Chain A
C-alpha cells in the first residue's frame, strides 16, 4: 500500500508549442482515420458478399456446363442405342459405327453384355481380348431404372486411368440386352469446366456423388480422384451454397468455397476463391486509409511545426522585450503577424514608459530629498546590523565636516570617534537601549575635524525581518546647535525674568515688608532701650529686668532674621536648582511671604493639606514664586470684600501627581479663565500682568500643568499639578 505521504504537487511538464499543435492535429486526424477504417471494413464486407455471389454463380455455371455435357452424351448414347446393328446383335458392324463416333467426338464407346463382359471397346483394336471391368453401382442403377446413368469415377480396365461413364441400357423388346456406355476422360470434363472461365486464382472442380474430384480446372492431375472433405460431410445438404473457408476442399489457402449440385447427375461443382482475393479489398482499403492517415499526420506535424515557428518567433521576441524591461532598457512595440503578441508588446511598451516616468519622478524626488536634507542640515544614515556596515548621505558627511565625496562613517565605531568624549558613555547607553527597543532618540555633541563642536539630534528606528529581529537601523541626524544655543539663551532670559518678577513683587511689597521687618526690629530696640534704662536707674532688680529684656530683644532679632532669610532666598539670583522638596513646608513659607502686610481681621487663610507628605522634585524658589503669586492675586481679588477667604490645598491625584490649589472668594474670572494667563493682559493698576504667564511657564518647566477655573460658590480657583519624585529605589537606580 502507498504510504499516506502528502501529495506532491508536480509542476505541469513543459512542452514545446509544436508538441501542443501536433496533439491538436492528432486529435483531429484520429477520428477521420477511425471513420476511414470503419468504411474500409464495410467496403471489404460488401466485396466479400459480391465475391460470394460471383463464386456461387460460377459454381452454377460449372455444374450447368457439366450437365450440358452429360445431357449431350446421354442424347448421343440414346441415339447410338437405337443402332440396328446393336439391336440385331451385329457387334462387328456396330464396332465400326462406334469407332466412327469415337473418331468424331472422342468418346470411347463400350458395349458390355448383361453379365458385364466387354463386347465392344473402341479404345482397343477389334478382336483383342477385353477385360471385364464393370461399375456395378452404375449397372445396378441402369438395371433398375432402364434409363441412362452417369457413373461415379472409377479406374478403367483398359486405360487403367480414372474416368467415368454414361451407362445406358440397350433394350430390345423391353429386355435389356447390352449395356452401352460412353467413357469420358477427366481431361474432357476439365475442358468443359474451363469453358466456365474461372477467374484468375480461382479453381473450379466437379466431384462425383462420393466427393471424388472428377475434374479440376487448374491442378487436374494432382487433384483427380481425391476426396473432398466437404462433400463427405454434406450428404443430403442443400444443392448449392457458399462456405467461408477452404475446409470443403482441404486447402488452407482457400478463403471461400461455393458449390452447386446437379439434379441430373448428383455431381457437385466446387469453385474456390483464394484467401488473398477475399482479404485483398480490406487490405487495399486499409492500405489507403493508412497511407492517407500517414499523409495527413505528416502534414499535421509539418503544419504544427510551421505554425509553431510562426508563433514562437514573436513569443521569443516578447521574451526579449520582457527581459529588456526587467533590465530597465527601452522597449519598442513589436509588429508581428500575431495580434495578441502585438497587444502584449504594447502593454510592455506602456509599462516601460510608465517605468521611465516613475524613474524620472523618483530621481526628481531623490534630488529634492537630497536638497531638503542639505538645506535642513539633515544627515541620513543606514546601518546593517548583521554585517555592521554603515552608509551615510552626503549631507550627513557635510554635517560631520567630512569629505562629501568620501565614505563618511562606514561603521558605528567611526561615528563614535566623532562623538564628544563627555557625551560618549551616555550615547553608548542610549544606543544600547535603542537596539533593544527599536527606537532611537538621542542628543549629543560631536567634534568636527576642525575642532568645532556641534549639537546633534539623532533619531532612528530599526527595520525587522519576518522573525522580528532587527536587520537594519536607519536614522537621521539634525544639527541643532543654533537651537541649542537659543534655548540656552532663552533659559537664561527666563531665569532673569523670574528673578525680575520676584524683585518686582517684592518692590511692590516694600512698604509691607518694611513694616514686617521693622516690627521685630522696633520691638528689639524698645526692649534694649528699656534694659538700658533699667541699668541706668540702678533700682532694685534692675539687672534681672534688663537681662529679661535683652532676651526678649534677641527673640525679636531672630524673628527679623527669619523674615530676612526667607526674603533673601526669594530674591536671590540663582540657577534652576531642582531638589526633592516637601510640599507643606514650601507652601507655608510661600504663603507667609505673600501674606506680609496683609493683616486684616476679615481675612481668613485656610490650609487644607493632604496628610500624605509626598516629596516632589522642584526648584523650591520657583514653586514658591508660583504660590506667592497666586496668593497675592487672591489677596488683591478679595481686597475690600466683606468675606475674604483664601484656601491653599494640596492633594494627590489619581495619577500619583500632586495637585496644589489656591482658591479665593473674590469676584471670579468671568467667561474666559484662560485670559488671565495671557501676558500683559492685567486688569490691575500695578504690575505688568505677566505674573500668571510666568507661573504657567514655571509649572510647565517642572512637567506639570497650571489652569484656572471658577470656584464653586463664587471666586477663582487656580490649580497646578506637579509630578511626584520617584520612589527611593528608582532614585538610586
Chain B
C-alpha cells in the first residue's frame, strides 16, 4: 500500500464524510476530508497525490465541476464520483469527463475500496485503457435495434426521448434496455457506460 498516497474525500454531509474517512482509514489508506470542492481546489498543487472520492451533489461546485476544474488546473488526480440518484446521462457525462468510476449510494464498502484501488493502480501505471476488444465482444450480442437504443441512452436521452427518435413506444424502449443489461452482463449503469465507451473505436485518445 503506497505510503505517500492520500485519498481526498470531498463530501458536504458530515456523517457521510466521517464514515468514508473511517472506512478508508480502516482499509489502510490515508484519508483527508474536505467539506466542499473549493477546499480541495484551494490546496491546488499542494494536494497530495492519490485519488479523489467526491460526492456528486453539493452546494457550491458539484462533483463533476470539481473534476473538470481539477483537469483544467492540470491535476491528474483520478476521481471517483458517488451519487445518491444516478442516471445514464449523468454517468456518461462523468465518464467522458474522465471520472474513474461512478458509484451509486448506498454502495458496498468493497465497491468503494475496489474503485479506490483501481484508481491508485491507474495513477501508478498511467492510463490503462479498458479492454476495447473485450468490451466489443460483450456488446456484439446486441441486436441492431438494441444498439440504436443504447446509443440514444448513453447520449443522455430519456426512455421517452429515445422512443420518439426511434418511432417506438417507451415500453418497447424499456424492454430493449432490460435486454441490453442482460446481454452485456453489466452490473449497473456505470459499467454499461464504461463498456460502451470502451467499445467505441475512437474512444482511445
Residues of A within 8 A of B (CB): 510-512, 514-534, 537, 545, 549, 552-553, 555-556, 559, 597, 599-601
Nearest 6 pairs of A and B residues by beta carbon: A529-B109, A515-B84, A526-B19, A518-B105, A518-B84, A514-B85
Residues of A within 8 A of B104 (CB): 518
Q: Tell me whether A523 and B85 are in contact (CB under 8 A).
A: no
Residues of A within 8 A of B23 (CB): 526-527, 529-530, 533
| Contact A521 to B85, CB < 8 A, known contacts A526-B20, A545-B26, A556-B15 | no
Q: Tell me whether A522 and B19 are in contact (CB under 8 A).
A: yes
B61-109 contacts to A, CB under 8 A, are 82-85, 104-109
Residues of B within 8 A of A529 (CB): 23, 26, 108-110, 112
Instruction: Give the contacting residue for A523; candidates B13, B25, B83, B108; CB below 8 A.
Output: B13
Give Cα A601–Cα B39 distance, bound, in whole angstroms. 14
B18 at the interface (CB under 8 A from A): yes
Q: Tell me whether A533 and B84 are in contact (CB under 8 A).
A: no
Q: Tell me whether A511 and B85 are in contact (CB under 8 A).
A: yes
B58 at the interface (CB under 8 A from A): yes
Give Cα A529–Cα B15 distance, bound, in whole angstroms. 14
Give Cα A332–Cα B82 distance, bound, in whole angstroms. 109
Residues of A within 8 A of B105 (CB): 515, 518-519, 521-522
Give Cα A517–Cα B19 distance, bound, in whole angstroms. 15
| Contact A525 to B108, CB < 8 A, known contacts A530-B19, A533-B23 | yes
Q: Tell me whether B57 and A515 are in contact (CB under 8 A).
A: yes
Residues of B within 8 A of A516 (CB): 84
Residues of B within 8 A of A (CB): 12-13, 15-16, 18-20, 22-23, 25-27, 57-60, 82-85, 104-110, 112
Residues of B within 8 A of A532 (CB): 109
| Contact A559 to B22, CB < 8 A, known contacts A518-B105, A522-B82, A601-B60 | no
| Contact A525 to B84, CB < 8 A, known contacts A530-B23, A533-B23, A601-B59 | no
Residues of A within 8 A of B25 (CB): 530
**Between-chain CB contacts (< 8 Å), 25 pairs:** A514-B85, A516-B84, A517-B84, A518-B84, A518-B104, A518-B105, A518-B106, A519-B105, A520-B16, A522-B19, A522-B107, A523-B15, A525-B108, A526-B16, A526-B109, A529-B108, A529-B109, A552-B15, A553-B19, A555-B15, A556-B19, A559-B15, A599-B57, A599-B58, A600-B59
Instruction: Give the contacting residue for A552; candidates B19, B26, B106, B112; CB below 8 A.
Output: B19
Residues of B within 8 A of A523 (CB): 13, 15-16, 18-20
Q: What 5 new A-B contacts, CB under 8 Å, besides A518-B85, A519-B13, A532-B109?
A: A521-B105, A531-B26, A533-B26, A555-B15, A556-B15
Give Cα A723–Cα B63 distance, bound, in whole angstroms. 47
Instruction: Give the contacting residue for B15; candidates A519, A530, A537, A600; CB below 8 A.
Output: A519
Give Cα A521–Cα B13 distance, bound, in whole angstroms. 12
Looking across the interface, which residue of chain A has its beta carbon closest to that of B82?
Answer: A522
Give the Cβ gap from B103 to chain A, nearest Cβ, in Å. Answer: 9
Give Cα A126–Cα B58 distance, bound, in whole angstroms. 211
Q: Tell me whether B15 and A525 are in contact (CB under 8 A).
A: no
Residues of B within 8 A of A533 (CB): 23, 26-27, 109
Residues of A within 8 A of B13 (CB): 519, 523
Q: Tell me whether B84 and A519 are in contact (CB under 8 A).
A: yes
Give Cα A527–Cα B82 distance, bound, in whole angstroms. 16
Residues of B within 8 A of A555 (CB): 15
Residues of A within 8 A of B107 (CB): 522, 525
Q: Which of A523, A524, A555, A559 has the most CB of B within 10 A?
A: A523
Residues of B within 8 A of A528 (CB): 109
Residues of B within 8 A of A524 (CB): 19, 106
Give the Cβ gap from B85 to chain A, nearest Cβ, in Å. Answer: 4
Give Cα A600–Cα B36 distance, bound, in whole angstroms. 12
Give Cα A136–Cα B47 distance, bound, in whole angstroms. 212
Instruction: Give the contacting residue for A530; candidates B22, B57, B82; CB below 8 A.
Output: B22
Q: Which of A511, A518, A528, A556 has the most CB of B within 10 A?
A: A518
Give Cα A545–Cα B22 distance, bound, in whole angstroms. 10
Looking across the interface, which residue of chain B has its beta carbon closest to that of A511?
Answer: B85
Looking across the interface, which residue of chain A has its beta carbon closest to that of B56?
Answer: A515
Give Cα A519–Cα B18 distance, bound, in whole angstroms. 12
Instruction: Give the contacting residue for B19; candidates A510, A527, A545; CB below 8 A.
Output: A527
Q: Tell me whether B85 and A522 are in contact (CB under 8 A).
A: no
Give the Cβ gap from B34 to chain A, nearest Cβ, in Å. Answer: 15
Give the Cβ gap from B61 to chain A, nearest Cβ, in Å. Answer: 10
Give Cα A597–Cα B62 distance, bound, in whole angstroms. 13
Q: Tell me whether B16 and A522 are in contact (CB under 8 A).
A: yes
Residues of A within 8 A of B106 (CB): 518, 521-522, 524-525
Residues of A within 8 A of B58 (CB): 599
Q: Tell me whether A552 and B84 are in contact (CB under 8 A).
A: no
Give the Cβ gap from A529 to chain B, nearest Cβ, in Å. Answer: 3
Give Cα A525–Cα B82 distance, bound, in whole angstroms. 14
Give Cα A526–Cα B112 distance, bound, in whole angstroms. 9
| Contact A527 to B85, CB < 8 A, known contacts A533-B27, A559-B15, A599-B12 | no
Give Cα A520–Cα B107 distance, bound, in whole angstroms. 12
Residues of A within 8 A of B19 (CB): 522-527, 530, 549, 552-553, 556
Give Cα A599–Cα B104 distance, bound, in whole angstroms. 19
Give Cα A160–Cα B178 distance, bound, in whole angstroms. 202
Give the Cβ gap from A520 to chain B, nearest Cβ, in Å. Answer: 7
Give the Cβ gap from B12 to chain A, nearest Cβ, in Å. Answer: 7
Residues of B within 8 A of A510 (CB): 85
Looking across the interface, which residue of chain A has its beta carbon closest to that of B87?
Answer: A511
Give the Cβ gap from B93 to chain A, nearest Cβ, in Å. Answer: 15
Give the Cβ gap from A434 to chain B, nearest Cβ, in Å. Answer: 61
Residues of B within 8 A of A597 (CB): 57
Residues of A within 8 A of B15 (CB): 519-520, 523, 552, 555-556, 559
Give the Cβ gap from B11 to chain A, nearest Cβ, in Å. Answer: 9
